[in-house]
Structure 1
Amino acid sequence: MPNQRFYLKLALIAFLILLLLIPQAFMLGLVGERTSWRQQAYSSIEQSWPGMQTLAGPLLTIPYQLSYNVTEQVKDPNGKEREVLREVTETDALYLIPNQLDIASKLQSSLRYRGIYDVPVYSSGLQVKGNFNTHPLLDLIAATKDKKIRWEKPQLSVMVRDQRGIATPPTLQWNGASLAFKPGNNLPGSASAGMHALLPDIDTTQASQLAFAFDLELRGMRSMNFALLAENSAVQLAANWPHPSFSGELLPETREVSATGFNAHWKASSFSYNVSGALEQCRKGECAGLLDRAVGFELIQPVDVYQQSERSIKYAALFIVLTFVVLILFELLKKLRVHPVQYTLVGFALLVFYLLLISLSEHVDFLKAYTVAALASTSLLTLYFGAILHSRQLGLMLGAGLAGLYTLLYVILQAEENALLMGSVLIFVVLALLMLATRHFDWYALTAGSPPSRIASDTDHPVPAIPDDSPVR
């Protein structure tokens, strides 16, 4: 009869653990909901501040008309065929990328708020300079020497992803002359975000180097990228944000990250990207692809509190199972009776830790939120364990063990790259300690209601003494 009651209670506790997985799933859903609200805050700020930026160019466009004669067979009114010459005119454009492109950027970041959520934004001071080689013009003239070319007004185009990010109209220094930029990149098949400048006629009698330079203040949020459309490119970037995440087609060749900001340097050539393919698409009227392949960085938050909270909630079932197993052991060893309602309250107290963690981490540093939530949960359960086990010493022992588990969990949460490994080791160590501590128990005697007896073994290890304090009054 005692065995049946024990197994019935064990089944009831197992069912209770399954029921407690429902509020655990609710906690995970709550994290997802708060994450979506934060994304809505990002979108709200993006409506009134320039979004993620990509700078592409400059790109030199030289439109031209190509005229030539073609011979056609036509029939006269008498039905006789004769040959006639007809002039055909085609409109095309030559797209040139810089022979050398140098970009120096100094980025100042700050935070914008929507409610409790903050989003990193920036203002980047850019110094862009380089030169174009006009030898491709001579190649085009040589390839069409039997045709007539009429050159049209050349232009220099600079593309950005969000037009609102251009704070002040810049001035182009072109081959020793100052020219004004106009809004819109004026390239086909693009969103027209950016700017362009009309250039003086280019000498087509000989190859030359055309130097350019301009300063640009570009605003954006969360990320900044550079599409390196040049034969040879170099980007030197300095920022005051201490938590960059480098992304894009190439990582920086050198980088230095400190508590006050970071510096990074990229170098690339036309061999690093399929620049010719992107230019060919632009020649066909699809210039939007010039923004796709770029290098850059993201301004990430140092601690994603929702990601940390979600990862901690996944260990809730482990905490509940371990706590319930320890309570069952003390029930058997101390000959106590812990009611299923008390198990339920202990499970809810363990889950409240995660609710406190989610809510507090939105307002204070994650470490402070974790510490307060862990202290509150551990203190409550320590008092409750002492009462239901009728022993202050056992309550303190279980509370200390729970505090140790919370400490280990925090260490695992901070070790992002090794979190799975450390979590697996933690589960193995806890299971090993539990098995070693109970390896000499006579479970048949324990579940039958008689005092535990030691199983005979080759080694003589006494069963650890269980504290027998006076009941808590």
Structure 2
Amino acid sequence: MENTNKPQQNKFGNWIKTSITARMLMVGFLVIILLIPLSFINGLIKERAYRQTDVVNEINEKWGNNVLVYGPILKIPYKTYSETKTFNEKTKTYFKETKTHINHAYIFPESLKSEVDVKSKTLNRGNFESAVFTTNMKFSGHYIQTDLKEKDIKNEDIIWDKATVIIKTSNLKGIKSEMLLKLNNNSYAFQTNFNDGSKNYHLDVLETGFIDALDISTKENANFSISMTFNGSKQIEIIPIGKITTMQMTSNWADPSFMGNYLPNDETKEISQTGFKADWKVLHINRAFSQQHLNTIPNLNQFAFGTKFMVMVDEYQKSERSAKYGFLVIALTFLIFFLIQTLSKIDIHPFQYLMIGLALTMFYTLLVSISEHSNFLKAYLIAGISVIVLITLYSKSILKTFKFPLFIGLSLTALYTFIYVIIQLENYALLVGSIGLFLILSIVMFVSRKIDWNNG
């Protein structure tokens, strides 16, 4: 039995060694097998990224979340009347009863100017960090004479001595300074627990005490100014409630992402490695809401604009993008060994292919683990050099020459450099990647032209 099986085993082994088709099938099978550890590595990267997201959210929750400012809004109570008829059974007559109701009008300023100065920094917890900021926001502007006749409200029905000013914000917790409204020659402090008149309290609204609103009804303009300081993260936005709204934002953040319905003016926008400066101007004809509203404050978040302060591509995103090219790296490396084996007639065992493939997958675990303690470039260099040196030395023991291992080392260096360049690019990644793959395909076609594919 043993003598019968040995010829069959030798025949199969010789077929693997001598047949180009058999070697191609073997290499393809090993590439597919190595997709299993690559999938686990991708899962590891995503798990670490989710962990980072949780830590960042926890840091931001304690420091301060995104900043959205909606205001200042003039809140003026007014009277409305309703009449009811009641039938008297004894007298067989109707008598009328008039009830008085208190409602509120919300008036937006005629002009709103905002000056925003943002100082960003990073907070660390373990291996993770979050970008946060402290911003000083100064608002100024003016209200014009308040007239609600267009809303069918008479001046004598307006309760001027009960008027207040309110500001809505998404980040009450992040406020780090006392807030005072300066209206004409008077100052008013803000307080929380805003009541919308229906016994519902809103914790995201600040409201002053009663203001001297009679001045607003009699004077041509009522000037105001407010200063507030926030600890926040992620983004800063305001809602353009002024008939003319302007905002100037300066920051030491080098990678701003302007967001919302309105972009800053290109003529005055400046972005450099030390920060940015941007100016916005929004007119009332640019947005679809009026300056006066009755009974409720409208939800105008869709009209907000501002800046996002987030890392464009963080370390885990770069690692994940790098791992997506894992299949390409393994396939091209195996292709190089396959061409060397076919052209030079050097025997390479499937186990040796497998060891080379596992070494290539180790690059990504090294990259993720090192990048948690250093920046991505250093991690990429350390992981890349380690894997290239390992495979080059291992190739020397397999191929028994210097020229082929040297060629393999240079090829891997070029391949990892090519992938790093693609990872760093945003707008041109697809273009550069397509050109690179076309050049690689051209080289492979040129080299493989000498192979006799009919032999096996």
Structure 1 residue 87 corresponds to structure 2 residue 98: yes
Distance in 2 (alpha carbons) for counterparts of 1:290 and 1:56:
9
Q: Which amino acid aligns with 1:76?
A: E
Query: Closer, same or farther in 2 for the Cα pair 1:150/1:416, shift >3 Å?
Result: closer
Equivalent residue in structure 2 for 1:224, among 236, 240, 251: 236
Deviation at 1:76, TM superposition (A): 3.4
Query: Closer, same or farther in 2 for the Cα pair 1:201/1:315, shift >3 Å?
Result: closer
Q: Which residue in the other structure is 1:359 paired with?
A: 369
Equivalent residue in structure 2 for 1:74, among 72, 77, 87: 87
Query: Closer, same or farther in 2 for the Cα pair 1:416/1:195, shift >3 Å?
Result: same
Deviation at 1:145, TM superposition (A): 4.8
Query: Closer, same or farther in 2 for the Cα pair 1:176/1:249, shift >3 Å?
Result: same
TM-score scaled by length of structure 1: 0.86
Equivalent residue in structure 2 for 1:25, among 28, 39, 43: 39
Aligned residues of 1:24 and 1:313 also touching (Cα < 8 A): yes
Distance in 1 (alpha carbons) for counterparts of 2:439 and 2:295:
64
Deviation at 1:91, TM superposition (A): 2.3
Q: Any idea what the Cα deviations from partners look like across 1:201-232, whole Å, max 9, x if unmatched?
A: 42586463111112211221121111121111
Q: Which residue in the other structure is 1:399 paired with?
A: 409
Q: Which residue in the other structure is 1:242 paired with?
A: 254
Distance in 2 (alpha carbons) for counterparts of 1:255 and 1:218:
24
Q: Any idea what the Cα deviations from partners look like across 1:227-286, whole Å, max 9, x if unmatched?
A: 121111010111111121111111111321111111111111223233339x75xx4546
Structure 1 residue 171 corresponds to structure 2 residue 149: no
Alignment of 1:217-366 (within 5 A): 217-253=229-265, 254-276=268-290, 280=293, 283-285=294-296, 289-301=299-311, 303-366=313-376
Q: Any idea what the Cα deviations from partners look like across 1:89-114, whole Å, max 9, x if unmatched?
A: 23211110010001111111121111
Query: Closer, same or farther in 2 for the Cα pair 1:316/1:220, shift >3 Å?
Result: same
Show structure 1 runs of 4+ deviating over 6 A.
Answer: none
Structure 1 residue 10 corresponds to structure 2 residue 10: no
Equivalent residue in structure 1 for 2:64, among 45, 50, 61: 50
Q: Which residue in the other structure is 1:373 paired with?
A: 383
Distance in 2 (alpha carbons) for counterparts of 1:243 and 1:178:
38
Alignment of 1:131-170 (within 5 A): 131-140=142-151, 143-145=152-154, 150-151=159-160, 153-170=162-179
Query: Closer, same or farther in 2 for the Cα pair 1:286/1:93, shift >3 Å?
Result: closer
Distance in 1 (alpha carbons) for counterparts of 2:415 and 2:139:
54
Q: Which structure 1 segments of 5+ residues have no match?
A: 448-473
Structure 1 residue 37 corresponds to structure 2 residue 67: no
Q: Any idea what the Cα deviations from partners look like across 1:372-419, whole Å, max 9, x if unmatched?
A: 111111111111112211111110011111101111111111111121
Query: Closer, same or farther in 2 for the Cα pair 1:146/1:404, shift >3 Å?
Result: closer
Alignment of 1:431-446 (within 5 A): 431-445=441-455
Q: Which amino acid aligns with 1:117?
A: F
Aligned residues of 1:186 and 1:195 also touching (Cα < 8 A): no
Aligned residues of 1:126 and 1:215 also touching (Cα < 8 A): yes
Deviation at 1:138, TM superposition (A): 4.8
Deviation at 1:174, TM superposition (A): 0.8
SS of the residue 1:438 aligns to? helix
Deviation at 1:425, TM superposition (A): 2.0
Deviation at 1:16, TM superposition (A): 1.4
RMSD between aligned alpha carbons?
2.4
Distance in 2 (alpha carbons) for counterparts of 1:348 and 1:146:
82
Deviation at 1:336, TM superposition (A): 1.8
SS of the residue 2:262 aligns to? coil
Q: Which amino acid aligns with 1:317?
A: F
Query: Closer, same or farther in 2 for the Cα pair 1:216/1:184, shift >3 Å?
Result: farther
Q: Which amino acid aligns with 1:49?
A: W
Aligned residues of 1:224 and 1:298 also touching (Cα < 8 A): yes
Distance in 1 (alpha carbons) for counterparts of 2:158 and 2:227:
34
Give % identity: 31
Aligned residues of 1:67 and 1:148 also touching (Cα < 8 A): no
Aligned residues of 1:99 and 1:132 also touching (Cα < 8 A): yes
Query: Closer, same or farther in 2 for the Cα pair 1:184/1:237, shift >3 Å?
Result: farther
Q: Any idea what the Cα deviations from partners look like across 1:27-59, whole Å, max 9, x if unmatched?
A: 111111111111111122133211111111000
SS of the residue 1:338 aligns to? coil
Aligned residues of 1:386 and 1:393 also touching (Cα < 8 A): no
Q: Which structure 2 segments of 5+ residues have no match?
A: 1-10
Distance in 1 (alpha carbons) for counterparts of 2:408 and 2:212:
82
SS of the residue 1:333 aligns to? helix
Q: Which residue in the other structure is 2:136 paired with?
A: 125
Query: Closer, same or farther in 2 for the Cα pair 1:204/1:195, shift >3 Å?
Result: closer
Aligned residues of 2:73 and 2:167 also touching (Cα < 8 A): yes
